[in-house]
Structure 1
Amino acid sequence: MNATGLTAIDLGLRGAASGVFLLIVLVALLRRATGQQALLGIAMCAGGMFYAIATAPNLPKTAWWWVLPILSAQPAVFWLWARAAFDDDFVLRRWHGALWLSIVVFGFAITLAWANWPALAGAGGRVLALATLVLALAAAVQTVKTWRADLVARRRRLRLAMLAINVVLIATVAVAGFAAIPVAVPGAPGSLPTALGLFVVAMLAGICLFSAPAMAVNDATAAIASGEAGRQPPAAGPAAGRVVVDPILLRRLDHLMTVERTYRQEGLAIGALAARLDVPEHRLRQAINEGLGYRNFNAFLNRYRIEDARLALSDVTQREVPVLTIAMDAGFQSIGPFNRAFKAETGMTPTEFRREALSRPDSAELSPPRREIG
């Protein structure tokens, strides 16, 4: 096939990818998705659409000087999306926005310096490529780091494929930036692999959005996987589309948690808990997610661990027991995660909670009774 045919295929793939990205953004806006994951997904899709258009072969390049610096920050948006999609405890901070803005400013500096200081601009481009690789690697680490604790079957299936393709695409562009490979040169005839990558990513995003029930993607849309933090209240009745979970399994799980206090086991993983119950791991994941409404195994365990810690902190006979000891006894492996989880649940630090609980006359009755599951 000659160069004209390859260019036509390139343009066709870019046009299709842009159309899908635009459709996802429009659906997200129509559904009024305002969560941080949805907004990052919209930004990611908008960036993909503009990148596909701005770097297309034979397109006038007069707008490069302001388009490409903004698009150079897309890896930061992708990394933040991966954090929001796969870490239920993630919260956007101001420094995340500052990171994105600093990359944009750096990109403008490289663009403006290219005419007068090409060597310096080239070095800056390699620095930007290195930053892209670091962010792509961080997104991949986020996937692996939280994969085992993820209880949402759909999110577990989709995260690896989606991230693998995105990471490969970003890494290809970044490596090409180091070596000046034409595949990454905007508008070059050899940019077909980039167009193909954009098309595959757009198709995956569209499939993930339009194949899921509306209730599951109301705050995800372009973000591909839903990102509500922590536990969602179970929907009532079969009409909600929930899978009916074996009540006997839920009662056995409740016995392990409330009577045997298995949650106190250090480094308890869902595989070990499934072995204790003598059930396949996927059945236990489904029971905790579909039956109890938890999206994350650590959030499930922390419910019991924090309640255990609250009881101990409210006990006047344990007034002198260090907070670290109470945290370790409850199953936490260090004080940092315990403090963060405890404050997220109660709105107070463990020390503040203990001080307030022990200052009340009825401190022995502060802790609520355990609520059984199943």
Structure 2
Amino acid sequence: METTGVMGLTAIDLGLRGATSGLFLLIILVALLRHATSQQAVLGMAMSAGGVFYAIATAPFFPKSSWWWVLPILSAQPAVFWLWARAAFDDDFALRRWHGVLWLGIVAFGFALTLGWAYWPALAGVGGRGLALVNLVLALAAAVQTVKTWRADLVARRRRLRLAMLAINVGLVAVVAGAGFAAIPVAVPGGPGSLPTALALFVVAMIAGLGSFATQPAVPVNSATAAIASSDARAADRAPAGRVIVDPMLLRRLDHLMTVERTYRQEGLAIGALAARLDVPEHRLRQAINEGLGYRNFNAFLNHYRIGDAKLALSDATQREVPVLTIAMDAGFQSIGPFNRAFKAETGVTPTEFRREALSRPDRAEISEPRREIG
């Protein structure tokens, strides 16, 4: 009787892993059919492939003879997850060569541990704990990334999915890393916790699938719909199907705050404070900036106006001697580092280079006020 129960649980375990693998493969297929080439999509496919690999490699009856090459690759999955979290939740993130070097380094270290386990078990145990510590640090970094950028995120679907997705994934990473602290280089496949792991993997795959299949393209910046650009009630008929119609009066009030009152100059301005100024719920303001103006991030929205303000000052011959730091602080930036990065990202040059080029032109064209046409 007990054997029948164990076999039944094993069958459920294998069924969940099969469904998980199918979902992850479907996510990859959908991304390929969409011709998704963004770094988030590529990392998402890598994570999905890793999910398939993990579901199969940690299943009951998986041949132990394959562990020596399977486990090092699994041990590097936290690095892929951390990079995916950065790409998914930080719109300014860009992959660097050292990210690939980090992943390869973890894989190489994992191979060294598995190959050396039979000869130097004590040393391999210490190395396993070190690898577990690296994985926990990466999991913590992914969690911090989620919390740090959550308030500024304007995409409603991404705000809803990110916490659930990260909580489950960080839990799985903690399990894998926890095995390392128990003097095992990586989690033992097919161990006593196999069924809970399979269930957790299935839930992760479901959440990832919902996020991938339901995601709609973001509204491009500078492409507010006709319904937003006009207060005419007939404009709603010209709005694209499925597009949320944002109150044009709210957008005009927001435009007035930004272009006339220059509220963006307020130090440490948060979306909650701006919503209070407009006397609207915070979620309505998020929707207006995202759906109406096409911004995915509140800081990017503010920086559009702040950089426009700085460009005017840097092009003004009467402010030739004003330090760049002063101009940045006057525009609303709190330090020179974020200002330089945001300015170069938008213009392609540093503030100093922009000033030199602008002031050297004999017939300097007037730079328009930083505004976005709404009405």
TM-score, with length taken from structure 1: 0.92
Aligned-partner Cα distance in 2 for 1:58–1:189: 13
Superposed displacement of residue 271, structure 1: 0.2
Q: Deviations along 1:110-137, whole A, 9 cap, x unmatched?
A: 0110111111111111111111110000
Match of 2:75, as an amino acid? Answer: S
State yes or no: 1:18 paired with 2:14. no
- Paired residues in the alignment total 360
Q: Could you tell me which residue of structure 2 aligns to residue 118 of structure 1?
A: 121
Match of 2:123, as an amino acid? Answer: L
Match of 2:278, as an amino acid? Answer: L
Q: Could you tell me which residue of structure 2 aligns to residue 306 of structure 1?
A: 307
Superposed displacement of residue 206, structure 1: 1.3
Q: Is the 8 A contact 1:306 1:342 kept in 2?
A: yes
Q: Could you tell me which residue of structure 2 aligns to residue 253 of structure 1?
A: 254
Structure with greater contact order relative to length (CA < 8 Å, sep ≥ 6): 1
Q: Is the 8 A contact 2:308 2:369 kept in 1?
A: no
The root-mean-square deviation of aligned C-alpha atoms, in Å, is 1.9
Superposed displacement of residue 360, structure 1: 1.0
SS at match of 1:63: helix
Q: Is the 8 A contact 2:312 2:367 kept in 1?
A: yes
* Structure 2 CA distance for partners of 1:105 and 1:180, relative to 1, 3 Å: closer
Q: Could you tell me which residue of structure 2 aligns to residue 332 of structure 1?
A: 333
Q: Could you tell me which residue of structure 1 aligns to residue 101 of structure 2?
A: 98
Match of 2:352, as an amino acid? Answer: T
Match of 1:96, as an amino acid? Answer: H
Q: Is the 8 A contact 2:128 2:183 kept in 1?
A: no
Q: Is the 8 A contact 1:250 1:373 kept in 2?
A: no
2:133 pairs, out of 105, 130, 136, with 130
Q: Deviations along 1:258-301, whole A, 9 cap, x unmatched?
A: 11100000000000000000000000000000011111000000
Match of 2:199, as an amino acid? Answer: L
2:159 pairs, out of 153, 156, 159, with 156
Query: What aligned pairs does 1:209-358 form with structure 2 within 5 A after superposition?
Result: 209-213=212-216, 215=217, 231=221, 233-234=223-224, 237-358=238-359
Aligned-partner Cα distance in 1 for 2:266–2:338: 16
Q: Could you tell me which residue of structure 1 aligns to residue 199 of structure 2?
A: 196
User: What stretches of structure 2 of length at least 5 have no aligned partner?
Assistant: 227-237
Q: Is the 8 A contact 1:309 1:330 kept in 2?
A: yes
1:143 pairs, out of 116, 125, 146, with 146
Aligned-partner Cα distance in 1 for 2:369–2:338: 24
Superposed displacement of residue 8, structure 1: 1.8
Match of 1:318, as an amino acid? Answer: Q
Match of 2:65, as an amino acid? Answer: T
Identity score, percent = 81
* Structure 2 CA distance for partners of 1:184 and 1:66, relative to 1, 3 Å: closer
Match of 1:265, as an amino acid? Answer: Q
Q: Could you tell me which residue of structure 2 aligns to residue 223 of structure 1?
A: none
User: What stretches of structure 1 of length at least 5 have no aligned partner?
Assistant: 217-227
Match of 1:196, as an amino acid? Answer: L
Q: Could you tell me which residue of structure 2 aligns to residue 367 of structure 1?
A: 367
* Structure 2 CA distance for partners of 1:307 and 1:51, relative to 1, 3 Å: same
Q: Deviations along 1:45-78, whole A, 9 cap, x unmatched?
A: 0001011101111121222211211121110000
2:41 pairs, out of 29, 38, 41, with 38
